Structure 1
Amino acid sequence: MKKLILLCMLAGYGFNAMAQQVKQIPLWPGIAPGETVKKPLEMSADSSRNVHRIAAVTDPFISVYPAPLEGRKDAAVIVCPGGGYNILAIDLEGIEIAKWLNKLGYTAFVLHYRVPQKREGALQDVQRAIRIVKSRATEWQINPEKVGLIGFSAGGSLSARASTLYEKQTYSAIDAADKLSAKPAYAMLIYPAYLDEGENRTLTPELKVNAATPPMFLFATADDKYGYSALVMTGAMRDAQAPVELHFYNKGGHGYGLRPGNPAADAWPGLAQNWLEQILKATH
């Protein structure tokens, strides 16, 4: 019975995705590094707050959401959903974000990175995703120098890791795509988590921020228990003289995505849109 429920949820996971003929591209031609077997996606039975959650990913992939031809821009954004590195909040912080980006003229890629608790695998997945998108830029009519990230909560952590560890060799090269840089052009971190895991809540030691770190946009709120992450990351970027913009609101909490009825959810999209447009103007 449990398997039947999971299969039904998995079929329903495509909610509008399948109707839109969303293309899924595997990140790895065989079994992903460190894995021993490929398994189907597992959906969580928890759909509280009307959020669909993927409980397990062993065969990571990206879902492609091309921007409409009319008004299409030559930039692309890889979307990293959150979920504490335990699950992926795939609609709230994945599909809904991709559709929003499409409305702005950007092609979007929703990253289904490995969970639960596979942080090293997740970093491999986002690096590989960046390289694949760049390698197929002509196919999607995008500029490979304008491929960036947006991440939420743990996805914000992953985006920060990808933005600071892009020179780290996390897996052995597989094909021509792996000759390309894994450096994103920019990163938008929305209520990011796990960036203040250093001693006395300083910057997480893994993160290596310097002047070459890609430009970052950060949004968080004071009543978010993870809110200090955004402050610490912004301070590190400022000290390194790397481009950074922070918006820190009073209320909003955590995990709101684009859902209406939350002051933070109402605020961040317009701010991020304006910032991204300015960043891309400076990118040739």
Structure 2
Amino acid sequence: MKTYLIFFFLLIFSLMSKAQGTDTLYLWPDKVPGETGAKHPPVQTPNTSGEVTRLTDITDPAIMVFKPKGAANGAGIIVCPGGGYNILAIDKEGYEVAEWLNQLGFTAFVLQYRVPDKRDAALWDLQRALRLLRGQAADWQLDPDRLGVMGFSAGGSLAARASTRFSESTYTPVDKKDSLSSRPDFALLIYPAYLDEGKNRSLTPELRLSDDTPPQFLFGTADDRYGNSALVMAGALRDQKLPVTLHFLSEGGHGYGLRKGNIAAETWPGLAEKWLRQLLLKDNRQLIPR
């Protein structure tokens, strides 16, 4: 029994070490805006179906840092897991994606934003993360003008909101870092949800497009119950003559991450890599190692 317990705790420690990358940065130094309860660690739900780790009840938002093991390219991407704004599919749409981005030379930051049912607070958390990383760009050897966001499902909604509402003062500043820009330099929305909540399934009203809206990469499938979101967002960007790339497959469903065995999961990473390479090479700065 004693041997079993030692093995169990070593296994848990190993999994936690892998999941946490190299560093965990908490977003709010003192009181978390909008929170009435005390800060505490995220709660893992008992539901592990689909071999997915789900977190909820987040009161102390954080970003978990994943640094490339090889050459870094100087760009960073904040990864926003999905989960219907109720939970975070933290491994399938967070840690695993971060490790893939590391292989491309990106420094990845997995965002633990507030859930459940805290859409406004989730936006504040992402905006704060963008500002915090810009303020500490030198610490992570990042170009502060090469900081993007990537989101899945509800995380795609969150990334779209951050990409269209960066000119707003959504929360009361807490320190000097809040004077920095919260505009992502680019956004990747993978099977995004909730972007078509306008009249007759049109663009969600809070998504306000402008000439400063950053370039967008969208991926979805026809058999996804939220598939209209990607189509509506891409159409709205196109109508405004804003840079957008849309890929849409006939099948793949929803919530596949980049795990093997699903045609959509095996397709979007290569397309996203190509898009990132083309986008970040436009100014002749080669940011993705060949």
TM category (shorter chain) comes to over 0.9
The letter for the 2-side match of 1:35 is E
Structure 1, gaps ≥5 residues long: 1-7
The residue number in structure 2 matching 1:80 is: 80
The residue number in structure 2 matching 1:48 is: 49
**Distance between the aligned counterparts of 2:27 and 2:14, measured in 1?**
19
**Distance between the aligned counterparts of 2:19 and 2:236, measured in 1?**
43
Please state whether the residue corresponding to 2:266 is helix, strand or coil: helix
The residue number in structure 2 matching 1:124 is: 124
* Closer, same or farther: CA 171–13 of 1 in aligned 2, 3 Å: farther
* Closer, same or farther: CA 21–220 of 1 in aligned 2, 3 Å: closer
Please state whether the residue corresponding to 1:145 is helix, strand or coil: coil
The letter for the 2-side match of 1:259 is R
Question: C-alpha offsets along residues 182-206 of structure 1, whole Å, 9 cap, x if unaligned?
Answer: 0000000000000000010000001
Which deviates more from structure 2 when the two are superposed, residues 210-219 or residues 19-28?
19-28
Q: CA deviation at 1:20?
A: 6.8
User: 1:65·1:108 contact (CA, 8 Å) conserved in 2?
Assistant: yes
Aligned residue pairs: how many?
275
Please state whether the residue corresponding to 2:129 is helix, strand or coil: helix
**Distance between the aligned counterparts of 2:101 and 2:27, measured in 1?**
22
**Distance between the aligned counterparts of 2:234 and 2:204, measured in 1?**
13
The letter for the 2-side match of 1:203 is L
Task: Map 1:255-270; keep pairs closer than 5 Å.
Answer: 255-270=255-270
User: 2:21·2:66 contact (CA, 8 Å) conserved in 1?
Assistant: no
User: 1:51·1:91 contact (CA, 8 Å) conserved in 2?
Assistant: yes
Q: CA deviation at 1:236?
A: 0.7
Is 1:25 aligned to 2:17, yes or no? no
User: 1:22·1:63 contact (CA, 8 Å) conserved in 2?
Assistant: yes
Runs in 1 of length 4+ with deviation above 3 angstroms? Answer: 11-14, 16-21
The residue number in structure 2 matching 1:272 is: 272
The letter for the 2-side match of 1:250 is S
Please state whether the residue corresponding to 2:15 is helix, strand or coil: coil
Question: C-alpha offsets along residues 76-103 of structure 1, whole Å, 9 cap, x if unaligned?
Answer: 0000000000000000000000000001
Q: CA deviation at 1:21?
A: 5.4
The residue number in structure 2 matching 1:199 is: 199
The residue number in structure 1 matching 2:150 is: 150
Question: C-alpha offsets along residues 125-180 of structure 1, whole Å, 9 cap, x if unaligned?
Answer: 00000011111111111100000000000000000000000011111112221111
So what's the TM-score if we normalise by structure 1?
0.93
Q: CA deviation at 1:13?
A: 8.7
The letter for the 2-side match of 1:201 is R
Q: Percent identity?
A: 55
* Closer, same or farther: CA 20–195 of 1 in aligned 2, 3 Å: closer
CA RMSD of the aligned region, Å? 1.7
So what's the TM-score if we normalise by structure 2?
0.91
Q: CA deviation at 1:40?
A: 2.0
User: 1:210·1:241 contact (CA, 8 Å) conserved in 2?
Assistant: no
Which deviates more from structure 2 when the two are superposed, residues 215-224 or residues 164-173?
164-173
The letter for the 2-side match of 1:267 is T
User: 1:165·1:207 contact (CA, 8 Å) conserved in 2?
Assistant: yes
* Closer, same or farther: CA 170–21 of 1 in aligned 2, 3 Å: same
* Closer, same or farther: CA 21–104 of 1 in aligned 2, 3 Å: closer
Please state whether the residue corresponding to 1:264 is helix, strand or coil: coil
The letter for the 2-side match of 1:278 is Q
